[in-house]
Amino acid sequence: MRRLSHTEGHMIQRIGWLRAAVLGANDGIVSTSSLVVGVAAAGTGRTEVLVAGLAGLVAGAMSMAAGEYVSVSSQADAERADLARERQELAELPEAELEELTQIYVARGLDRGLAEKVAAQLTERDALATHARDELGISETVATHPVQAAFVSALTFAVGAVVPLIVALLAPAARTGAVVAAATLVALAVLGALGASAGGAGLVRGAFRVTFWGALAMAATAAVGTIFGVTAG
């Protein structure tokens, strides 16, 4: 009888790059478009608007890369420390660790006898990997990769930030702010839907929550630009 192979692809396997990509693109679009709308609302010319937007793109991409690298590196450091402590406990207190693993499986619904067998077999196969997965929640699927996360965040931020810059370059000078804001809302809705689709969530909900906060950010910067632009004049 031939054994059939069955391979499943789950959304959790995408969580590392998906999180960095969606956050990067979203921040790129929102922060740059908000900057462009705010500067345009202050009554400045197209050149000033584009320079401000380009500066925001470069600064934002570098900030995203640095922030993501530090954040993910800190998580990786915590995981390594937990694994080192678990390795030491396995060497010094193997019976206690085996009992701890057994209790975990009992809590998940196995009867005591079966839980003991499962814990013993998995411990014999790879004790550290078993405790890392079932006790600490660390696995290769959700492992942290600082450099990858930093690169993806910077790249997707820059890609997202290019959208309002291109729109600002092509829009009529007198209506730069309004056109950029409208185009940004459309881009955010598309991005939110794509992110929700890739993550297995509802498209409408994903699009709405991204669009709402983007609109709020642009409204705030437009208000600031209008107030200080009038005052400066």
pLDDT tens track, the chain, 233 positions: 444 444 444 444 445 556 666 777 888 999 999 999 999 988 888 888 999 999 999 999 999 889 888 988 888 888 888 888 888 888 888 888 888 888 888 888 888 888 888 888 888 888 888 888 887 777 665 555 788 888 888 898 999 999 999 999 999 888 888 999 999 999 888 888 877 776 666 778 878 888 898 899 999 999 998 888 754 44
Task: Give me the amino acid identity at 152.
Answer: V
Q: What pLDDT does 170 receive?
A: 92
**Euclidean distance between CA atoms 52 and 48, whole angstroms:** 6
Helices 203-232, 176-199: crossing angle, 10 deg rounding: 150
pTM above 0.85, yes or no: no
**In angstroms, how far is the first alpha carbon of the chain from the final one?**
84
185 close to 214: Cβ distance less than 8 angstroms: yes
CA neighbor of 29 nearest in space, from 141, 152, 150, 191: 191
The alpha carbon torsion through 7, 9, 10, 16 (nearest 10 deg) reads 130
Count CB atoms within 10 A of the CB of residue 38: 24
Q: What's the confidence (pLDDT) of residue 232? A: 44
What is the chain's Cα-based Rg? Answer: 25
Closest CA to 157 of 49, 66, 42: 66
Rounded to an integer, what distance in angstroms lies between the CA atom of residue 162 and that of residue 157? 9
Q: Compute how many other C-beta atoms are within 10 angstroms of the C-beta atom of residue 34.
A: 26
